[in-house]
Structure 1
Amino acid sequence: AGYNKLLRDIGPAGVPGECRGKGWVRPITLDDMLRLNEKQMLLASSLALAPLVVHAVPPGATQAALVPGEDPLRPRDVGFGSNGWAFGKEVTANGRGLVVGNPHFPWNGPSRFYEMHLTLPGQYDAMGVGIAGAPIVTLGFNKDVAWTHTVTAAQHFTVFQLKLDPADPTKYLVDGKSEAMRRQVISVPMPDGAPPVQRTTYATRYGPIVYNPLAGFGWTKTQAYALRDANHNNQRALETWVAIGQARSVGEVRAAVERTLGIPWVNTIAVDRAGNALHADVTAVPNVSADKVRACGTPLSAVLKGKLILLDGSRSACDWDRAAGTPVAGLMPAGDQAVLERRDYVANSNDSYWLSNPKVPAVVRSPILGAAESERTLRTRSGLIEIDRRLSGTDGLPGTKVDPAAAEAMAFANKSLAAELAIDPLLALCRGQEDVAAACAALGGWDRRFNLDSRGAYLFATFWEGVRSLPGLWAVPFDKADPVHTPRDFVTSGAQGTKLLAALKAAAATLAKQGIALDARWGDVQFAVRGQDHIPIHGASGQLGVLNVQQSDAVPGGIVPKHGSSYVQIVTFDTVGPVADALLSYSQSTDPASPYFGDQTRAFSAKRFHHLPFSEAQILADGGRKSVRISE
């Protein structure tokens, strides 16, 4: 209703310039909202496989290409990530909870966050952000709790290998009995008077048929593959986030997450005023145990291990197990998923549940929840190292406790663990090598961070991209007894050293081709474009072990962020309510004519957090409020 009223009020001329006159700018319906919600629920699960569904045809049949230039066999990389840290009373300066939320999300498109403070007197009062279309706060805080989310390592779908009926490839056998696939013709309207595009999809008791022969998912006369997603028709998430926004403790946050199993694909990291910290890796996950993965595997299952779970669809016993008390049959009960409550800290940077606090590695669970007792990413390790340095007082900041100032400094320190591990051995290797002397000198003068004034950072980022996947990079391999500090010891001897020098030379050549100096200032290389302004942006790729992630696209003269730090919040509590500092990196508005198109991007560039007023008195003291009354 609000969206449609806005369209009527502003009229065709009031629509932002890039949208003006477009046929898709029209009133929306409840059906549109449900479809949008469904898309968001599948965003980091099977949505990337949608091309494989519409491309699937029986053997001998043909179907037009999806769109020119698109490879329907290659799943799209959604690439969402985040850092979430929750500190409890044992380690915070005020003895209350403190959460650091730094979700890494797209800077453009429909998955941008927007800030809100929503109050229903006597029922609901929460502040934070939601994704386009979200009517409530999905990441934020209220008077008593603060929470953030990170994309989980759990898998939210499985693929089933089907044995087909020899008489008809559109029928499949389950326990020896033939079942017909459901056939549906989908017609998609096209703009500018073009005829609609039609696709025929095929579905089974498990879900739609998928086709990707490059991954082994062919559709032959004897076998095919079907996809089942735990987030299909997940309309429970709204209920979950309403309950989180009303929660008064991390216990109530946990209860909401566990009861509904409505969180689609993110960890929940939360704190409360009393000083408790929570990490709940509890989502809508297929109820597939490790025993079932082993018992129901096919020869292809072993090939795909670590990428997805493939089950034998010819046996009904291999379908997802049903457990009492789950809101939807086939979902994994919360008791079989991973939850950790602490009074020191929990942390997650998109690795699995296993190591949210190195003092208490989690019990190994079903592989569908992610890998355990395995190597962590540089970003995960960097976060845990920085937390340890803070609590031991070795990070150069005052004291050994966590307060908002320390948390903000940690979030935007822009250190690179890759540089910390590799730069000294690399400098020793390249010293005296004439063909890389200039590059070596540039790296020698680099502060090993990705701050605006860091010189030489782009050279190292380019170099690291070329070497990070080399085999034999580390002398000390991963050790599950020391997962935070292994692997380590950068290898520069022998043939490996030759490869590293060649990569450094190639990186220098790349910069020369781009017209970027070897010791270029990072803020001159990475920038956000707002109108005629180029706003310098700190942070860098998580592959570098940088916590403040920025993934950027190349443009003339530099790179422009497309994905990374978005809504960054540091929230603790006093005796009255929340004490919150936050930033929305790409700013609230996408309209170049708006005064809120680049204001927070400039503040982000300067690492200048906004203190958010929450109570009525704080809002009035902050200059509020201007009321706009709407009715429908």
Structure 2
Amino acid sequence: MRMPRILMALVLIIALAAITNVLSTSPPTIDSTALLSLGEKYNVRLIRDEFGVPHIYGESDADTAFGLGYAQAEDDFATLQDVVLATRGKLAAVRGPDAAKTDYLIQLMGVWEAVDEGYESKLSQKARDVAEAYADGVNLYAAQHPNIVEGFVLPITGKDLIAGFTFKLPLFYGFDQTLSALFDGSDRELALQGDKALTFIDHARSELGSQGVAIAPQKSSDGYTRLLVNSHQPLTGPVAWYEARLHSKEGWDMAGATFPGSPVILHGHNRHLGWSSTVNKPDLVDVYQLTMNPENDNEYLLDGEWIELETRTAEILVRVFGPFRWTFKEPLYSSKHGPVVKLDHGTFALRWSGMGEIRTLDQYLALNKATNMQEFEAALAIASQPSINQVYADKEGNIAHYYNAMFPERIEGWDWQKDLPGDKSELIWDSYLPFSTIPATRNPSSGFVFNANNSPYLSSVGPGQPQPSEFSKTMGIETGTTNRALRLKRLLSASEKISREDFYRIKYDVFYDEDLPAMLRLRKFIAQGKERLPVELHPAFDLLASWDMGTQSDNPAAALAVLTMARLIDSRRRTEGVDLAQQLANAQSYLRTHFDRIDPEYGEVVRHQRGDKSWPLDGGPDTLRAVYTEEDMDSGQLYNVAGDSYIMFVEWDRDGNVSSRAVHNFGSATLDKSSPHYADQAALFVEHKDKAVRLKLEELLPFASRDYRPGVTGGSIELE
């Protein structure tokens, strides 16, 4: 996203700062005395197991949230405070001009106006208590470690956490991508009215993926219900998974994972049910082309009348260097549609699902506490989560896939994928379709459901799946698929019954499906023969032709194949004109430059690294064993940076008793390289192994490494 006025002003500010010292704006001074006593307010016990994973036992939900905030701060305070600064719109005040875009976006979206207006009136008291208790846990840790706290951070408040949901969740379905495309100056296509204009175009697949699988008792060889929780995220940073076990006497009893700054488990399981979350990207953003008054550029045409734009001011505090900061002011505009941006190529208004929505924590708390399918669906029906699929299973043997989203209630007869004319008020939607209208697959006869960022119309096999004819095109529902979805369909359908071992084998599948368009293209390329290629490519061609479409760590053809096919496998990229012969030549050159041969074992090239340790890895982009890499410029090795991260296997036996196993890509100590938990799960992760999730206190205590009450004198029992 480009903001020329802001960036040009920043250049002038820096130049001015070089010759004057009048730009200093210091962060507010905080008295940490009160923060240091916060531990006395909460009755919570924090027990870390042998892997350092926090198991938090609180008297109340607020007590438990306080413990979660403190534990996350212990393990990843630097990321957490960056999340708070970004959400608060103060990141540029600490990080400098490069962060100004984020601060601008927060203000453009009106995040804090929505939070300030609705925090007391729209959000439940329970959600406020949980958010504020979590913030207290972070504040206590920060007060205990003042040397690591940036200015403009303390005190963290419950509002900061609620604003985080309001800001971040639209980014998962691509709001920021729509905005970036608006700023890039490319030609805009205006929608036409009429049925013939309703042409659905699939959104590009997201960079990363996720997957969830649920198996009903009739499909399991032992009559168990099984759930795979397997979201794919960056391995570090603000949306990297953090594992925790939460328990309170008010009925909060969750195990799973969350993000820094989220005071609740985002997916996992309780004793009754569980779910896996995957990203979906229906059309949830609308762009309107405004007709501006040629005699007054602050007036736009709506229903034949000129309407004045509402105006407010964005104030962005930017750190120039050292202690010097400057408050840059930028006008912000809004119309009846939503926020407005004035650009050289037009004036545009935006409207999106979740704008002004602050109740997301209420929905997540309800999901965490649901005890059956009816309660889970009632939680989804709160409809404060703009998007995200859920793959569901419970102790009663129910399974389901929900293509969950806040679908705008749009009028028929327009192609909502394109820009809309801004002069018709009938195109300004103001409500959402009810939960009952979303695509869902419940207890299909096949005995399984799945999602791997694919269309909801492929969620199982056979009857019980939603059909495209049942849903309005105005919903913009995806129709595309992924390699992972094709593999799940094939592998889950391959046998009448699925055992626990089968379930693990399917999750860790490392192959590309023969029906994937990229593999069809490869077969055609191979069938054309090597005679048309330069002779120096013949050995590489022969190696590529021998590839079994797998990414095993000892596979000698996989590195060449994945490097050759990357642009076709990654469907974010345009594939028109991709020359496979040239891609093969590039892959050959890369491997010979860095590894002196074209057939190194895949695990020699693709590595899982943590600190000074490195392991050979299997898996690749869009395989069920999902691995996304970045190149090390010196060695040429490709290091794992995203994909498979937190993985959880959940099962309920015939009597409805739950158990689970999980693994994290690195460990619970996110930043502390000296901690034994900095990389203690990495070897398990590489070897397709995991650890028990201990759900009962009596099972946990023999394995406790620490047992303490945060901030309470004498409340810590150090066992390490």
| TM-score > 0.5, shorter chain as reference | yes
Q: 1:153-164 alignment to 2 at 5 Å?
A: 153-164=281-292
Q: Which of 631, 635, 639 is matched with 1:554 structurally?
A: 631
Q: d(CA) in 2 for partners of 1:450 and 1:241?
A: 37
Name the TM-score, length of structure 1 as normaliser: 0.78
Q: d(CA) in 1 for partners of 2:526 and 2:435?
A: 50
1:189 counterpart SS class: strand
Q: d(CA) in 1 for partners of 2:475 and 2:453?
A: 12
Asked whether the equivalents of residues 606 and 640 of structure 2 are also in contact (C-alpha less than 8 Å), the reply is yes
Asked whether the equivalents of residues 102 and 569 of structure 1 are also in contact (C-alpha less than 8 Å), the reply is yes
Q: Which of 696, 708, 719 is matched with 1:615 structurally?
A: 696
Asked whether the equivalents of residues 408 and 475 of structure 2 are also in contact (C-alpha less than 8 Å), the reply is no
- Which residue number in structure 2 is paired with residue 486 of structure 1? none
- Structure 1 residues 80, 466: closer, same or farther in 2, change over 3 A? closer
CA deviations over 1:199-252 (Å, ceiling 9, x no partner):
322211221124677xxxx32xxxx22111221232222111211221222232
- Which residue number in structure 2 is paired with residue 598 of structure 1? 679
Q: Which of 565, 570, 573 is matched with 2:652 structurally?
A: 573
Cα shift at 1:139: 0.3
2:245 counterpart SS class: strand
Q: d(CA) in 1 for partners of 2:688 and 2:667?
A: 14
Cα shift at 1:594: 2.4
- Structure 1 residues 28, 527: closer, same or farther in 2, change over 3 A? same
- Percent of counterpart pairs with the same letter? 21
Q: Which of 506, 517, 526 is matched with 2:606 structurally?
A: 526
Asked whether the equivalents of residues 231 and 644 of structure 2 are also in contact (C-alpha less than 8 Å), the reply is yes
1:95 counterpart SS class: coil
1:340 counterpart SS class: strand
1:200 aligns with 2:331: yes
Cα shift at 1:428: 5.3
- Which residue number in structure 1 is paired with residue 140 of structure 2? 5
Q: Which of 305, 315, 324 is matched with 1:187 structurally?
A: 315
Cα shift at 1:539: 1.6
Q: 1:350-499 alignment to 2 at 5 Å?
A: 350-360=453-463, 361-364=465-468, 365-371=471-477, 374-389=479-494, 392=495, 400-417=496-513, 429-430=528-529, 434-443=535-544, 446-466=547-567
Q: d(CA) in 1 for partners of 2:598 and 2:341?
A: 47
1:108 aligns with 2:236: yes
Q: d(CA) in 2 for partners of 1:137 and 1:196?
A: 37
- Structure 1 residues 625, 264: closer, same or farther in 2, change over 3 A? farther
Asked whether the equivalents of residues 163 and 358 of structure 2 are also in contact (C-alpha less than 8 Å), the reply is no
Q: 1:41-190 alignment to 2 at 5 Å?
A: 41-45=169-173, 46-49=175-178, 79-190=207-318
Q: d(CA) in 2 for partners of 1:256 and 1:569?
A: 22
Asked whether the equivalents of residues 630 and 638 of structure 2 are also in contact (C-alpha less than 8 Å), the reply is yes
Asked whether the equivalents of residues 568 and 583 of structure 1 are also in contact (C-alpha less than 8 Å), the reply is yes
Equivalent residue letter for 2:557: G
CA deviations over 1:357-390 (Å, ceiling 9, x no partner):
2313423223354446x5523332122112112x
Name the TM-score, length of structure 2 as normaliser: 0.69
1:269 aligns with 2:391: yes
Cα shift at 1:422: 6.2
The more displaced of 76-85 and 598-607 is: 76-85
1:280 aligns with 2:429: no
2:231 counterpart SS class: strand
Q: d(CA) in 2 for partners of 1:375 and 1:154?
A: 11
Gap runs ≥5 in structure 2: 1-135, 186-202, 713-720
1:117 counterpart SS class: strand
Q: d(CA) in 1 for partners of 2:383 and 2:217?
A: 28
Higher relative contact order (CA 8 A, sep 6+): 2
Asked whether the equivalents of residues 183 and 200 of structure 1 are also in contact (C-alpha less than 8 Å), the reply is yes
Cα shift at 1:563: 2.0
2:163 counterpart SS class: helix
1:587 aligns with 2:692: no
- Which residue number in structure 2 is paired with residue 535 of structure 1? 615
- Structure 1 residues 595, 502: closer, same or farther in 2, change over 3 A? same
Gap runs ≥5 in structure 1: 13-19, 57-74, 302-307, 321-328, 393-399, 475-495
Q: d(CA) in 2 for partners of 1:429 and 1:7?
A: 64
Q: d(CA) in 2 for partners of 1:39 and 1:536?
A: 37
Q: d(CA) in 2 for partners of 1:386 and 1:446?
A: 20
CA deviations over 1:381-432 (Å, ceiling 9, x no partner):
122112112xx2xxxxxxx423332212111121122586566665555467
- Structure 1 residues 264, 123: closer, same or farther in 2, change over 3 A? same
2:230 counterpart SS class: strand
Equivalent residue letter for 2:616: P
Q: d(CA) in 1 for partners of 2:140 and 2:524?
A: 62
Q: d(CA) in 2 for partners of 1:269 and 1:77?
A: 19
> Which structure is higher in helix share?
2
1:311 aligns with 2:420: yes
Equivalent residue letter for 1:567: Y
Q: d(CA) in 1 for partners of 2:222 and 2:172?
A: 37
- Which residue number in structure 2 is paired with residue 63 of structure 1? none
1:270 counterpart SS class: strand
CA RMSD of aligned residues (A): 3.1
Equivalent residue letter for 2:384: G
